[in-house]
Structure 1
Amino acid sequence: MTTDTDTAADVFEEHRPVLLGVAYRMLGRLADAEDVVQDAWLRWSAADRASVREPRGYLVRVTTRLAVDRLRQIKSRGETYVGPWLPEPYVTHYTDHAGTEPDAAERAVLADSVSLALLVVLESLSPLERAVFVLREAFGYPYAEIAAMLDRGEAAVRQLAGRARKHVEERRPRYDVDPARRRDLTERFLTAAAGGDLEGLMSLLAPDVRLVGDSGGKARAPLRVLESADKVGRFILGATRKGGVSGASLRFLEVNGAPAVLILSGGEPDAVFQVEVAEGLIQVVHIIRNPDKLRSLAAV
């Protein structure tokens, strides 16, 4: 016999991927996003669902408000992060509810909206600006619906959207999003690093390349951003000699909408490696080593 609780769970599970997508883009932390979605489920299971005409809109509204509250709490704590900060890596597989792949244009939008580069920029927005930007730019909600979700006037929401978009456009770098090109450069980079080929490595790096290593002070990684091909190349070779790429197993996967490499040591996640590419050269190297951010990848 199907119960009301079963029906509520089925409806919620249908929309869970969208809710997690909203919460993750809002928070940049998968564990926090999952907590928010779980709280949304508790609200949904206790709600008067007979009065809800559009479950998806209701659930997105609840999730967004919970994420705004969580983001405000995080910012109010004023926690100091050790070293550069990057979002928690999020393994992405874009399919709709029918199990079909979106077209190339839709996929590019989805990938861009969850990229590491964009999420870093979104960290500097206010919670409300971030909510409006995510709902408008990533999910295409009309201003009127966003206003209702956030209990704000439509004019105020348009102002928030304008400020957020201007801020993002001024700070977001533009990179090549062709996954085949990024994977090719990633493979060549790793081959050169494993072979100790500094000259080959340098030929793949832009002169002003940056290496951003996120360890949270809990693993070995630079505590500041490294800049220049020479510094980045020599650091990578030094890390490889100390048991990096050559002493680990590698697994390609899609992280935050782009090719990445999961580096495993002893079968456990040790780092996520991803590059940003423009004009045929690597512009940024992202390395995530904070063990707290790698736990979700243990089962990948």
Structure 2
Amino acid sequence: MTTDTETDVFEEHRPVLLGVAYRMLGRVADAEDVVQEAWLRWSGGDRSDVRDPRGYLVRVTTRLAIDRLRQIKSRGETYVGPWLPEPYVTDFGDRAPDTAEQAVLADSVSLAVLVVMESLSPLERAVFVLREAFGYPYADIAAMLDRGEAAVRQLAGRARRHVEERRPRYEVDPAQRRDLTERFLAAAGGGDLEALLELLAPDVRLVGDSGGKTRGPLRELEGADKVGRFIKGVAGKGVPDFSVRFIEVNGGPALLVLSGGKPDAVFQVDVADGRIRTVYIIRNPDKLQALAALPPEAPAAPPPAP
């Protein structure tokens, strides 16, 4: 039987567990399933020898996430079009998270890094998340994964090199990113191709994730002219009764497009040197379901006038 105290202990660590599971899996629903399974093991297991509840729960969650990741690892072979992580809201407006949750959210990884992590093996990804995102010592990670410390150090080094070689190599200025996101919205909503081209880097990339379940590019687009014309062509078209609001996902500003009040797409941009370097568009409806639960007190903004 689970006591209120044991329930409170689990709830205290839930944000950390969700942070681990989301980084491992890149999908909120999968992460929540893993955390729920961790709860079942916590509530139904023998906890008499547990001296460090957080460490125990992180270990259970990590192992469950590794198992889940191995089961779905083939998604890259069967997924239709480019794959992007499910957007994870990292700003809850007036519903302020507690201290533990704030720490997890502040440490959230970007869409770009999560995409790179997708090519790591499940063990490499687990070691990278525990070491780089949560700062666990190698000895603790080795105990969590039932591996030798030397092997864990090798996995960590290999994963770190892989991510560093492929992640964006520019510093992100949050204020500039917000400003460019706002200007991107105005230019796209107004169908102003010239203004769009001024915002886009010459080698800009557009990565769209529709999962083959709705309209969207089935391969990456490259080059300012091609990306600008695509955005101009699709902005607001085919989306009835649409509106746009700013949200924060994966640690950065994003645009949530609503159709009839329901999530239709998420746009996010990466920037450097005053230009947009990458445009991410997530339209797979399966990845937008969690956004339907955003607090209603943050109203959607009307689309910009043409």
**Which residue number corresponds to residue 236 of structure 1?**
231
Secondary structure at the aligned position of 1:192 is classed as helix
Offset of residue 54 of structure 1: 0.5
Offset of residue 73 of structure 1: 1.1
Offset of residue 49 of structure 1: 1.7
Secondary structure at the aligned position of 1:86 is classed as coil
Paired residues of 2:22 and 2:28 also in contact (CA < 8 A): yes
Secondary structure at the aligned position of 2:207 is classed as strand
Aligned length: 291
1:273 aligned onto 2:267: yes
Paired residues of 2:84 and 2:115 also in contact (CA < 8 A): yes
Q: Give the partner amino acid of 2:179.
A: D
Paired residues of 1:176 and 1:276 also in contact (CA < 8 A): no
TM-score between the two structures when normalised by the length of structure 2:
0.90
Paired residues of 2:2 and 2:44 also in contact (CA < 8 A): no
Tell me the distance in 2 between the aligned counterparts of 1:88 and 1:250.
19
Q: Would the alpha carbon gap of residues 254 and 74 (structure 1) be closer, same or farther in structure 2, given more than 3 Å must change?
A: same
1:120 aligned onto 2:115: yes
Residue-by-residue CA offset, 1:200-244 (whole Å, 9 max, x unaligned): 110000001001000000111100101000011101111026245
Secondary structure at the aligned position of 1:274 is classed as strand
Paired residues of 2:241 and 2:260 also in contact (CA < 8 A): no
Secondary structure at the aligned position of 1:91 is classed as coil
Q: Give the partner amino acid of 2:54.
A: R
Tell me the distance in 2 between the aligned counterparts of 1:101 and 1:34.
18
Residue-by-residue CA offset, 1:73-131 (whole Å, 9 max, x unaligned): 112577500011000000014977447966xxx976x14xx210000000000000000
Secondary structure at the aligned position of 1:220 is classed as coil
**For residues 100-179 of structure 1, what are the structure 2 equivalents within 5 Å?**
110-111=107-108, 114-179=109-174
Secondary structure at the aligned position of 2:85 is classed as coil
1:292 aligned onto 2:248: no
Offset of residue 176 of structure 1: 3.7
Q: Would the alpha carbon gap of residues 190 and 92 (structure 1) be closer, same or farther in structure 2, given more than 3 Å must change?
A: same
Tell me the distance in 2 between the aligned counterparts of 1:219 and 1:209.
23
Residue-by-residue CA offset, 1:274-294 (whole Å, 9 max, x unaligned): 000001000000000000000
Q: What is the root-mean-square deviation in Å for CA atoms of aligned residues?
A: 2.1
Paired residues of 2:184 and 2:196 also in contact (CA < 8 A): yes
Offset of residue 5 of structure 1: 2.6
Offset of residue 50 of structure 1: 2.3
1:253 aligned onto 2:240: no
Tell me the distance in 2 between the aligned counterparts of 1:122 and 1:47.
32
**Which residue number corresponds to residue 35 of structure 1?**
33
Q: Would the alpha carbon gap of residues 78 and 285 (structure 1) be closer, same or farther in structure 2, given more than 3 Å must change?
A: closer
1:208 aligned onto 2:206: no
Paired residues of 2:15 and 2:101 also in contact (CA < 8 A): no
Tell me the distance in 1 between the aligned counterparts of 2:100 and 2:2.
26
Tell me the distance in 2 between the aligned counterparts of 1:107 and 1:68.
21
Q: Would the alpha carbon gap of residues 5 and 151 (structure 1) be closer, same or farther in structure 2, given more than 3 Å must change?
A: same
Paired residues of 1:264 and 1:271 also in contact (CA < 8 A): yes
Paired residues of 2:13 and 2:100 also in contact (CA < 8 A): no
Q: Give the partner amino acid of 2:9.
A: V
Paired residues of 2:264 and 2:285 also in contact (CA < 8 A): yes
Q: Share of identical aligned residues, percent?
A: 78
Long gaps (5+) in structure 2? 295-306
- Partner of residue 92 from structure 1, selected from 90, 97, 120: 90
**Which residue number corresponds to residue 183 of structure 1?**
178
Q: Give the partner amino acid of 2:251.
A: G
Residue-by-residue CA offset, 1:46-75 (whole Å, 9 max, x unaligned): 122221101000000000000001111112
Secondary structure at the aligned position of 2:205 is classed as strand
Answer with 172-181 or 39-48: which moved more: 172-181
Tell me the distance in 2 between the aligned counterparts of 1:96 and 1:81.
34
Q: Would the alpha carbon gap of residues 38 and 107 (structure 1) be closer, same or farther in structure 2, given more than 3 Å must change?
A: closer
